[in-house]
Amino acid sequence: MAATEQDILAGLGKIINEITGIPASDVTPEKSFVDDLDIDSLSMVEIAVAAQDEFGVEIPDDQLKNLKTVKDVLSFIQG
């Protein structure tokens, strides 16, 4: 059974917490990585690599720059 959006959000929150120290509960769909969560471009790469390991979906660098919000990443992972 495919992972639900809630499952992916929880997994993403855990990854972001491990990489940046931001509480997982702050990682909600409407948040912008740069403006709300203050995550820099290199941490975004680390998050993309960890998300690939976790969800099996590759997020290439040329796509990564278009993913501005948590919801953008959730949608990308869900295809």
Partner 1 sequence: MKIPDIAPGARILAFGHYQPAHVVTNDDLAKTMDTNDEWIQSRVGIKERRVAPAGESVEDMATIAGGKALAASGLSPEDVDLVIVATCTLETQIPNASAIVAHRLGIQSPGAFDVNAACAGFCYALGTASAVVRGGSARHVLVIGAEKLSQWVDWTDRSTAVIFADGAGAAVVGPADTPGIGPVVWGSAGDKADAIVVKDRQHFLHQEGQTVFRWATTALHPVALEACRRAGVEPSELSAFVPHQANLRIVEAIARKLGADNAVIARDIVNAGNTSAASIPLALSRMLERGEVRSGGLALVLGFGAGLTYAGQVIEIP
The residues that touch partner 1, with contacts defined as CB under 8 A, are 40-42, 44-46, 48-49, 61, 64-65
Residue 44 CB, nearest approach to partner 1 (Å) = 7
Closer to partner 1 by CB, 1 or 42: give it: 42
Residue 46 CB, nearest approach to partner 1 (Å) = 7
The question of whether 61 is a catalytic residue gets the answer no
Distance CA 40, CA 72 (A): 16
The DSSP secondary-structure symbol of 69 reads: B
Spatial contact of 9 and 55, defined as CB atoms under 8 Å apart: no
Task: Determine which one of 35, 38, 40, 61 is catalytic.
Answer: 40
Spatial contact of 49 and 42, defined as CB atoms under 8 Å apart: no
Report, as residue numbers or ranges, the catalytic residues.
Answer: 40
